[in-house]
């Protein structure tokens, strides 16, 4: 079986949990690898961080130039006009990475899925429709592209979800993050929303919050 190429950061001891973190448009798996030393987790959580590289495709809104992207964006309307088939193809690849972590011996309930911007849209669909229960979902500066069509899997109907968004984001308006929270509540979730005085980025405070939330996810599902 073939998988997306990834940057992987192993813990000091054998991994007993995993975080799969998806980058944004035009970036790659190295984009967030540098934050790992800032995510200080307690020693019982030996986390493998997996940062996949999106494939390079032609992106319509960027004059058709080829760049790393999880799917094509056809128009920069507020809600985004996107290539849904491309998004679903990326979801399939991400879910293969989740299954690979399970095959490596990680309990599905100790796997966290995270995504920034375009990667967050893929993360929503990937985590909520995965067929085994996961630990948590973290979405940063993003939007819920499949909110009106998604059919969450029964195993992840109670998945903890955290949304992080900058109040001055000029790329993905904060209203889209708030809309995602509303859509999730309609689906029966209880998402936690975190606002930052920031633009389209991840701040030090946000990394600190992410660290706490990963520990909360994993504390619920601590291995013996």
Active-site residue, from 53, 200, 209, 211: 200
3-state helix/strand/coil string of the chain = CCCCCEEEECCCCCCCEEEEEECCCCCCCCCCHHHHHHCCCCCCCCEEEEEECCCEEECHHHCCCEEECCCCEEECCCCCEECHHHHHHHHHHHHHHHHHHHHCCCCHHHEEEEEECHHHHHHHHHHHCCCCCCCEEEEECCCCCCCCCCCCCHHHCCCCEEEEEECCCCCCCHHHHHHHHHHHHHCCCCCEEEEECCCCCCCHHHHHHHHHHHHHHHHHCCCC
Active-site residue, from 117, 126, 141, 142: 117
Active-site residue, from 18, 90, 169, 213: 169
Specify whether 175 is catalytic: no
Specify whether 200 is catalytic: yes
Specify whether 169 is catalytic: yes
Give me 174's structure tokens: 């904060």
Q: Which residues carry out catalysis?
A: 117, 169, 200
């Amino acid at each position: 079986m073939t998988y997306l190429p990834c940057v992987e950061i192993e813990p000091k001891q054998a991994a007993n949990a995993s975080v799969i973190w998806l980058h944004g448009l035009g970036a790659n798996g190295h984009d967030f690898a540098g934050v790992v030393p800032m995510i200080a987790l307690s020693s019982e959580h030996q986390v493998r961080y997996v940062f996949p590289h999106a494939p390079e495709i032609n992106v319509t809104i960027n004059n058709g130039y080829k760049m790393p992207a999880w799917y094509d964006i056809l128009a920069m309307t507020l809600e985004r006009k996107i290539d849904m088939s491309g998004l679903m193809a990326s979801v399939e690849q991400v879910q293969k990475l989740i299954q690979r972590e399970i095959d490596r011996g990680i309990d599905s309930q100790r796997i966290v899925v995270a995504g920034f911007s375009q990667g967050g849209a893929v993360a929503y669909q990937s985590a909520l429709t995965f067929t085994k229960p996961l630990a948590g979902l973290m979405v940063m500066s993003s939007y819920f592209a499949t909110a009106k069509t998604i059919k969450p899997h029964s195993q992840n109907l109670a998945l903890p979800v955290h949304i992080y968004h900058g109040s001055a984001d000029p790329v993905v308006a904060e209203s889209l993050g708030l809309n995602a929270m509303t859509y999730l509540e309609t689906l029966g979730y209880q998402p936690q929303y975190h606002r930052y005085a920031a633009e389209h980025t991840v701040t030090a405070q946000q990394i600190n919050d992410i660290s706490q939330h990963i520990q909360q996810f994993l504390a619920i599902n601590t291995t013996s």
